Amino acid sequence: MVLAQLGGSISRAIQQMSNATIIDEKVLNECLNEITRALLQSDVQFKLVRDMQTNIKKIVNLDDLAAGHNKRRIIQQAIFNELCKMLDPGKPSFTPKKGKTSVIMFVGLQGSGKTTTCTKYAYYHQKKGWKPALVCADTFRAGAFDQLKQNATKAKIPFYGSYTESDPVRIAVEGVDRFKKENCDLIIVDTSGRHKQEAALFEEMRQVSEATKPDLVIFVMDSSIGQAAFDQAQAFKQSVAVGAVIVTKMDGHAKGGGALSAVAATKSPVIFIGTGEHMDEFEVFDVKPFVSRLLGMGDWSGFMDKIHEVVPMDQQPELLQKLSEGNFTLRIMYEQFQNILKMGPIGQVFSMLPGFSSELMPKGREKESQAKIKRYMTMMDSMTNEELDSSNPKLMTDSRIMRIARGSGRQVGEVMEMLEEYKRLAKIWSKLKGLKIPKKGEMSALSRNMNAQHMSKVLPQQMLKQIGGVGGLQNLMKQMGGNAKDMMGMLGGGDR
């Protein structure tokens, strides 16, 4: 089961429970059993799942709940919190500081994506103004140095390695020394991987670690590893001081749940996930937005960050202004399609966009969705400027629709489908009218600027009803210290 399916199963279980007229012990148990099954099928370790179930039952004592309490919300919140707890070891990993030299050592089994991830990690930081460097201390796999060299050259990152030296410790020390002298602030050491956990690999890792004294050891794990994740992660942790985890290949058909087990085994947080073979298919991992997305709830803060990343700088103020005016035109939709297509893996952005995620862009069907977007854009190419810049649907008369279909070589039905999609998105975005959208690096401003009125507009109606309308929402926000950002993440704001 891929993670998207896991999310779907959990959401369905919660939804089914919400549909029940009365929520009693039986309904709660059925819901929890459904969630347990989904987690186990996703390769989350049995003990973790069992603990989660026990904890939820402890928190949600139906008998103790006074009448009038919103039981559904409490259960939903408990599930959200428990999933977050599973993924959050409670202490952050070492965070390197720009301008101050840090040595980061990467470990993992062969084929886990370690070498690729080293470059992605370096590239990610380089884009943010760091001075990274790569050291290839993998002398076991022939071709490892060539691979690192190729990746590093493409990304214009300095690298060090040898075709002749067979001692990984020596290469690691020489590389680290050289880049320290060159004032690199992020020295990344790639170590050998083996097919399976074996004594020689661990001994080599220990020696490289002792000689280079890394500030952080990152364990790279393939998300398709399944139930073996826990033991594998633990074995690495016992040999070297693993401080963080990166889970790779989250884009594939992996069961992904192993990520949760790896956190538990290493007591270290997942800091990034790999979402493709390309250099920039790499995402910072944040627990709450991840769980929100897992549960199909959308991720506002991630979306805002992505806007800053995806939309060219010079278009950002204009776009944000238009969106806050609730003025979603076909041209905006067109430009966003353009930006998103340029990004490559559009699934990443779409899963964060309110409204875009499930209908236009079903998870796991990115290719078809990409083709659909291209088709929509071809049809929009046959529109006039007036049509693109207007938010008045009346302009789209039957004869114009027919003309657009002819001009783009598509069926009338397809043009209508595209216009329906536009209307659906415009409706969602119109709810944001008046919302002050923060500038880059001002995410906390989103929390400050978003009051209960705004939130009530973007929350699914059914959920709003369950909370007790705007009044209930206000109370809830007070209880949570008014942090709208967290609330939005938790409640899945925006995804209607």
Residues of this chain that interact with ligand GTP (CB under 6 A) are 108, 110-116, 138, 141, 144, 147, 193, 248-249, 251-252, 274-277
**Is the CB of 118 or the CB of 133 nearer to ligand GTP?**
118
Q: What residue is closest to ligand GTP based on CB? A: 193
- Min separation Cβ 285 and ligand GTP, Å: 12
Q: Is 110 left (phi over 0), alpha (psi -120 to 50) or beta?
A: beta
CA dihedral 366, 8, 489, 327 (to 10 degrees): 50
Q: How far is the CB of 362 from ligand GTP (least distance, A)?
A: 19
Q: Shortest gap between Cβ of 114 and ligand GTP (angstroms)?
A: 3
Query: Position 61: which residue type?
Result: N
Sheet strand arrangement including 270-274: 159-160, 132-137, 186-191, 102-107, 216-222, 242-248, 270-274, 282-284
Q: Which residue, 294, 386, 365, 303, is CA-closest to 339?
A: 303
Inter-axis angle of helices 316-324 and 300-310, to 10 degrees? 140
Count of CA atoms in the C-beta half-sphere (13 A) of 362: 4
- Reduced DSSP (H G I as helix, E B as strand, rest coil) percent helix, strand, coil of the chain, to 5: 60, 10, 30
Least CB distance to ligand GTP at residue 196 (A)? 12
CB nearer to ligand GTP: pick between 274 and 489: 274
**C-alpha angle 27/33/38, rounded to 5°?**
130
Token couple for 435 = 């919302």
Nearer to ligand GTP, 120 or 431 (CB): 120
CB of 345 to ligand GTP, least distance (A): 10
Q: 218: helix, coil or strand?
A: strand
Taking the complex as a whole, how short is the minimal distance between the CB of residue 465 and ligand GTP, in angstroms? 40
The smaller minimum CB distance to ligand GTP, of residues 252 and 362, is found at 252
Give the single-character DSSP code of 136.
E
Min separation Cβ 151 and ligand GTP, Å: 8
Instruction: For ligand GTP, give the closer residue by CB, 17 or 242.
Output: 242
Residue with tokens 């030299």: 101
Closer to ligand GTP by CB, 134 or 297: give it.
Answer: 134
* Minimum CB distance to ligand GTP smaller for 136 or for 455: 136
